[in-house]
Amino acid sequence: MPSWTIYHNPKCSTSVAGLKLLMDAGIDPKVIDYMKAVPSEKQMELLIMKLGAKAEDLIRRKEPLFKERYATLRLNEHEWVRVMRENPELIERPIVVRNSKAVIGRPLELIEELIG
C-alpha cells in the first residue's frame, strides 16, 4: 500500500483543494503543515530529489517577500534550501508525496496523475 504525505498550508485554497482531492480518492495522507513544522534541510533535499526538480523550482516567485529580497539573487541549491527553511511561506504548495515520487500540486491535475 502506498505511503502518502502532503506538505500543506491550510490557509491556501489550492492546498486545501489538493488535500480534498486526495481524501475524495480514498487516500488518508500524512498531513504536514509546513508553516508550523518546517521541513529540515535533509527533508527539503529529499523532497527536491523526489520532485526531480531544483530547489529554486519550489520558490513562490509571486510572493512579496521573494520580490523584495530574492528576485535579483543567484543562489545555489543549498542557499535556496536555507531560504525556504527560513521563509516557509516561499515554498510552493501543496507538495504531495507518494512513496519515492512527489509533485507540486499546481495544477491539481498533477496530483490526479500521481494518484493514477
Q: Which domain CATH number covers 24?
A: 3.40.30.10
User: Annotated active-site positions, please?
Assistant: 12
- The pLDDT tens digits for 17-74 are 999 999 999 999 999 999 999 999 999 999 999 999 999 999 999 999 999 999 999 9
Beta bridge partners of 96: 6, 103
Q: Cell digits for 8? A: 500543506
Rounded to whole angstroms, the Cα distance separating 23 from 73 reads 39
Total domains, the chain: 1
Position 1 scores a pLDDT of 60
Q: Which domain holds residue 91?
A: 4-115
